Structure 1
């Protein structure tokens, strides 16, 4: 009886069309009716009519404060915005899940530890919104080790220029860096924290220092980016990393500190051509977009 009464109670409320909620969110994001109309392919007058009905007939609450062509959300509007985003997200999940039931399965990806925290959270979060039933297995190893594996569907690797393999995701420079509050680069023998002897970034860094005739030692060696960052942040060593991985409280070093310039690196996406599938390709598209951000 309780279940029936809850249904009866819900049926007494007016419904809000998802198109109206989508228009409302567009107004909030764009700051005006005209730009929102362009986003949802409606005229400014049609958008205004939608919102007037939502305010006066459905919710009976003022949602906007109007200042010329600019609009701001009222307190009630801010409350609705949170619910609207959640409703639209659930609406999208329902359709993607039920309209594409074949998008269920497992994708195995390989990625160096360097890129996990910087790129994967956003990529996997957006992918899960569209394909919540797909299971993803993440394998973290060096680029050299990953390229030797045959069981992975997608592999993200770092490659030297002229030795590319797969689809280019991003180009970045390798840079020297140390913690702001330390001057490790002033030591007569530079202590380095690097990813390992099988990483060609380590090879490049050492070769560049040899060519500059700078003394150094591999003080810390770990395949874990978190471990390297902990060592550098403690002022125990300096390192060479991709520029996008450098924390804000570190400083990038270069010629001013008598350190050689390091080369550009190519981040590549390699597909396993022996195991093609729509699931794998969908994730590949999200990875490509994620590395542009």
Structure 2
């Protein structure tokens, strides 16, 4: 008599339904069954039944239900991480087989302050969804990126908006505070005239800094000038100067200088510009860039 192979002890484990996981994540992110119901186009009672079955399947309560909101239990917090990863993996798998095959080359240009923040995650995500598309990345000044876009060398660029002499192009995708920064424990901020490290002539950061200093009547000297913000960072690390810098990039041993010591700089903006006639791959990358900025 032929013996059947042994059954794996894991074969009887229940499978998590993708639709139910999507409902669970929506409720967790909205903090409300009612708001989540509007998002997934179902009734709150239908969502309640889904979550009840999910809790019965896992043997744990996932939400603490309060008067006007719900919050996750410890088990719910654990499932949220798994749920997001499973939904993302499901999306990638479906995209791999159902999305139209796209190949070719895509030129993407960006300023260096952007590259250190969002590029790694965005490029990794794009590579998974469009593995046949070659992405060539160029990092440089906003002026250079715009010129290369006009020349047809780049398809999508991120540039600082408001640079002197630069026409308004594209759409604003990010606004962030520009602050004065220097080395923690350094003396540059106390020197007179104030030593400042600035980017190239025509940079919005440079214009904002010089205008603020002139308006405040502070004595200063340009002690360090560089095409890239990495050069400004080097000058600050050496305590040679202070510099206008995005708040999100100020990390130890750099620190934000006390706002009471130097004049405020305001916010700077980043614009995304597409080449006219850009294809579907470019539009996808543009969407992923915008989504990455929304998470900052």
Call closer, same or farther: CA 1:10–1:132 in 2, change over 3 Å: farther
Please give the residue correspondences for 1:50-65 in structure 2 after superposition, counting only pairs within 5 Å.
50-56=50-56, 58-59=57-58, 61-64=59-62
Normalized against structure 1, the TM-score is what? 0.74
1:250 to 253, 256, 262: 256
Call closer, same or farther: CA 1:249–1:5 in 2, change over 3 Å: farther
Could you give the per-residue CA deviations for residues 154-187 of structure 1, whole angstroms, max 9, x where no partner exists?
1222342663242132566755433453342332
Q: CA deviation at 1:245?
A: 4.5
Please give the residue correspondences for 1:1-293 in structure 2 after superposition, counting only pairs within 5 Å.
12-56=12-56, 58-59=57-58, 61-64=59-62, 66-69=64-67, 71-121=70-120, 123-124=122-123, 127=126, 131=130, 134-149=133-148, 150=151, 151-158=153-160, 159-160=162-163, 163-169=166-172, 170=174, 175-196=179-200, 199=203, 201-202=205-206, 205=209, 212=217, 214-218=219-223, 220-242=224-246, 245-247=249-251, 249-251=255-257, 257=262, 267-273=270-276, 276-291=278-293
Contact 1:172 1:242 in 2 (8 A): yes
> C-alpha distance in 2, partners of 1:235/1:216?
14
Structure 2 unaligned blocks of 5 or more: none
Contact 1:196 1:221 in 2 (8 A): yes
Q: CA deviation at 1:100?
A: 1.3
Could you give the per-residue CA deviations for residues 262-286 of structure 1, whole angstroms, max 9, x where no partner exists?
687553333223x621111222233
Normalized against structure 2, the TM-score is what? 0.74
Contact 1:160 1:265 in 2 (8 A): no
> C-alpha distance in 1, partners of 2:6/2:231?
53
RMSD between superposed Cα atoms in Å: 3.8
Contact 1:164 1:266 in 2 (8 A): no
> C-alpha distance in 2, partners of 1:245/1:237?
17
Could you give the per-residue CA deviations for residues 231-270 of structure 1, whole angstroms, max 9, x where no partner exists?
314432111235655558312657x54x6x7687553333
Q: CA deviation at 1:110?
A: 0.9
> C-alpha distance in 1, partners of 2:164/2:175?
10
Call closer, same or farther: CA 1:186–1:71 in 2, change over 3 Å: closer
Aligned residue pairs total: 283
